[in-house]
Amino acid sequence: MMPTINSKIISILRFPLTFLVVVIHSRGEVTHVSDWSHLTMADVCSLVKVFLSDGVAQIAVPTFFFISGYLFFYQLEKLDLSTYKRKLKSRFHTLFVPFVLWNLLCIPLTMLVFYGESLGGTSLPTKAVDYWNNIPWGHIFWDYTSHHAEYPNLLGMPLLLNGPVLGTFWYVRDLILIVLLSPVFYWFLKRTGKYGAMLLLLLLCFRVWPYMTLRVQCLYFVLGGYWSMNKHNLYIENKVLRKLNYLLTVGLLLFLTAVGSYEHFWGFQLITLYALSGMATAFCLAHKLLQHRPDFRFPKILNDSSFFVYALHIEFSLPLAFFVVKAVFKHLPADLLLFQYLLVPVVIYAISVGAYWLMQKLTPGFLRLLTGNR
């Protein structure tokens, strides 16, 4: 059995991390701050967007990868064929089935949004038809979108970013691939120990990775596996190291905010280091909360619906939330743009949880398939 404290930390972070994923995609446009001595309201709004969406929230996906690796390799003394098959069978239901269903469901949901926008006068009536006619069906599960990262790594190597038709599911796609490759990484970590883990950590920080679909972020999964195999707690136990990590996280976050996060060369290079320190900070803060309030829990529906919200928010809830919020704020002064930005992820989450609740009542069997029986 996993130590209760680590299990509670994972449970308590599920909703906040999912909310941060929503915050990433609620960013909208930002303007570069050109005059720090005379900040306009638009500048303040942009800085808050960079601080939250391009800064704080960037720990979410790495932490989910790390936790997935931690759970996959937990108490794994030997990864033989029978254990590998058992784990693949489990992940088939929790990852592969939802991956296929959501990518197929994404297409009619996108067309529905396009039709809604045409009725609202914000897009052409033919947009949905054009979208359908131009779908590259052979690529919807793999590389429906494909482009390079804004900057190469420090060695000048290009970084390929591509994803399935449901763009956010690049994470699920890569999780499936890294699970399939888990025996390779398990053997590597067993043979090389901490030196192999340090090498992978350096590869991750410097983004040294083959020019391939599987992104370098998959190494968070492997490092989570190493942490689990060596029976480390998720939180930092040493008080001095914990405080130093807090300082590093805050310092990097302020730097990223000042330079514009990943839209600046050095912001892009340092965001991985920030994600690592921020992830450790999140684990420590969750542990601190549980020390003071051992029975603290978020409402059950917020934890249970996390994967569903993650899957639904980008193609359906987000455009609907933007439409609702912009309609409300249409005649309000620009000074309220910041409040509008802060409100959007809350509305997105509310719409998604509402859809989850309706499916619980009306189509519970289909919901279980979509969420991998979570």
In this predicted model, what pLDDT tens digit does every residue of 222-262 receive, in sequence order? 999 999 999 999 999 999 999 999 999 999 999 999 998 88
CA-closest candidate to residue 321, choices 28, 101, 2: 28
The tokens describing 192, both together, are 């090389």
User: Ramachandran region of residue 372, left (φ > 0), alpha (ψ -120 to 50) or beta?
Assistant: left
Can you give the pTM of this predicted structure? 0.94
Lowest mean pLDDT among 46-50, 76-80, 247-251, 275-279: 76-80
Percentage of residues in the chain with pLDDT exceeding 70?
96
Helix (H) or strand (E) holding 117: helix 97-119
The per-residue pLDDT for 56 is 97
SS3 state of residue 231 = coil
Q: State mean pLDDT over 286-294.
A: 95
Q: Which of the two residues, 235 and 318, has the higher pLDDT score?
A: 235
pLDDT in tens, 208-226: 998 888 999 999 999 999 9
Q: Which amino acid does the sequence have at 264?
A: H
The per-residue pLDDT for 136 is 92
Residue pair 270/278 in contact (Cβ under 8 Å)? The answer is: no
Residue 171's Cα: distance from chain center in Å? 7
Distance separating alpha carbons of residues 196 and 363, to the nearest angstrom? 47
The per-residue pLDDT for 332 is 62
Quote the strand ranges of the chain, DSSP E: 145-148, 160-163
- Helix axis angle for 4-24 and 337-362, nearest 10°, is 120
The tokens describing 303, both together, are 């934890």
Query: How many other CB atoms are there within 10 angstroms of residue 335's CB atom?
Result: 11
CA-closest candidate to residue 16, choices 285, 250, 269, 362: 285
With cut-offs at 50, 70 and 90, classify the pLDDT of residue 44: confident
Averaged pLDDT of the chain: 91
The per-residue pLDDT for 75 is 83
Distance separating alpha carbons of residues 254 and 274, to the nearest angstrom? 10
Q: Is the pLDDT of residue 121 over 70?
A: no
Distances (CA, A) of 126 to 129, 319, 322: 5, 18, 21
The tokens describing 220, both together, are 């968070």
Q: Tell whether the torsion through CA atoms of 96, 100, 101 and 103 is positive or negative.
A: positive
pLDDT in tens, 147-204: 888 889 888 888 889 999 999 999 999 999 999 999 999 999 999 999 999 999 999 9
Main-chain dihedrals φ then ψ at residue 146, nearest 5 degrees: -155, 130
pLDDT in tens, 327-341: 777 666 666 788 889
Q: Tell whether the torsion through CA atoms of 343, 345, 348 and 349 is positive or negative.
A: negative
